[in-house]
Structure 1
Amino acid sequence: MKRLFILIAVGLMSTAAFSQTKTDGVHIYNPEANAMADLKAATEKAAKANKHVLVQVGGNWCTWCIAFHQLVDTTVVLKQAINENYEYVLVNWDKDHHNDEAMKYLGFPNRFGYPVFVVLDGKGKVLHIENSSYLETDEPGANGKKKVGHDVKKISSFLKGWTVAAVNPETYKSK
């Protein structure tokens, strides 16, 4: 009877392990990309368009990175906020591609984990590094525990807070 119980338990654990969502096959980051060239191009484009650059650092191995990217891609208000105010760049970091030069240039944002976001101005100056854990939801799930994922309102607030207009002192002068 004990063996039967152990076999059933092992079978259930195996099934649960294989049924979990995997990120294999999802490739939003390009490990072979030249991160510095991508940052330079985005900065030049942002300067011409009077925008900032939003850099998302992460990797295809990172379920939170992919979940964030998919949330932005499927949420109109987030997609619109990014398209209107930022040049959006994905910078890969994985065990084989550390992009050390880009990490140094961006102020070593990877110290906060992944994904991590960096806002650059049109000259390439780092304005802000955002730890993505601050953008996670506080909502309780059906089980009473905190839901897993990012919060659209928190992301919207973050994006609005770092636009060109938001950081321009002229925006706040009395008329």
Structure 2
Amino acid sequence: MIKQVLGTLGVFLVILQAFGQEKKPLYNPSANAKQDIAAAVHLAKQEKKHVLLQIGGNWCVWCLRFNELVTTNDTLSRFLKANYEVVHVNYSKENKNEAVLADLGFPQRFGFPVFVVLDADGKRIHTQNSAYLEEGKGHSPKKVLEFLENWSPKALDPKRYVK
């Protein structure tokens, strides 16, 4: 009897703890996307990286799935950290970041999430429709890694191609 009560109490405490921990939203509707991008470009220049803009919203299950993949898959996480400064640009009814997206060539035309790669000078070098990275009910780790590799600073270094 005591074991059952303690077991039930333990389950109750785990559930209570899970509900008590409020998760910070991935996309912040009140963030200043222009400033966040400028800060990321500044860091990217110093660290010889590119900037990856993950554009979407907390309402977008595919956006959240992508983020879950790249933060929990060790290979993707390490590659991102080594080659990119990442900015989550919000698109929601609260803040569509229309001016920023206009400056980026209207990437929302591809749906969400959509990814924009900037070089270390802040120049847009690629817009990626995430549908090409999907597999089943998520994104393919292999396809995502290939995308990240193909637009990394190393891949675009002219010295790699000149003999």
Which TM-score band applies after superposition, normalised by the shorter structure? 0.7 to 0.9
Compute the displacement of 1:34 (Å). 0.1
Letter in 1 for 2:144: I
What is aligned with 2:57? 59
What is aligned with 1:158? 147
**What CA distance in whole angstroms lies between the structure 2 residues aligned with 1:122 and 1:169?**
15
Two-structure CA RMSD over aligned residues (Å): 1.0
**What CA distance in whole angstroms lies between the structure 2 residues aligned with 1:105 and 1:70?**
28
**What CA distance in whole angstroms lies between the structure 2 residues aligned with 1:129 and 1:157?**
15
SS at match of 2:159: helix
* Residue segments in structure 1 that go unaligned for 5+ positions in a row: 1-24, 138-146
What is aligned with 2:91? 93
**What CA distance in whole angstroms lies between the structure 2 residues aligned with 1:104 and 1:168?**
28
SS at match of 1:114: coil
Contact 1:85 1:163 in 2 (8 A): yes
What is aligned with 1:75? 73
**What CA distance in whole angstroms lies between the structure 1 residues aligned with 2:60 and 2:123?**
27
The number of aligned residues is: 141
User: Which residue of 99, 104, 107 corresponds with 1:109?
Assistant: 107
Deviations 1:89-126 (A, max 9, x none): 00000012010121012111111000000000011100
Give TM-score, length-normalised by structure 2: 0.84
**What CA distance in whole angstroms lies between the structure 2 residues aligned with 1:128 and 1:119?**
5
**What CA distance in whole angstroms lies between the structure 2 residues aligned with 1:27 and 1:107?**
26
SS at match of 1:67: helix
Compute the displacement of 1:148 (Å). 1.2
Deviations 1:116-141 (A, max 9, x none): 0000001110000000000011xxxx
**What CA distance in whole angstroms lies between the structure 2 residues aligned with 1:77 and 1:88?**
16
Contact 1:26 1:60 in 2 (8 A): no
Contact 1:93 1:99 in 2 (8 A): yes
Contact 1:54 1:120 in 2 (8 A): yes
Identity percentage of aligned residues: 48
Compute the displacement of 1:31 (Å). 0.7
Give TM-score, length-normalised by structure 1: 0.78
Q: Which sits farther off after the overlay, 76-85 or 26-35?
A: 26-35
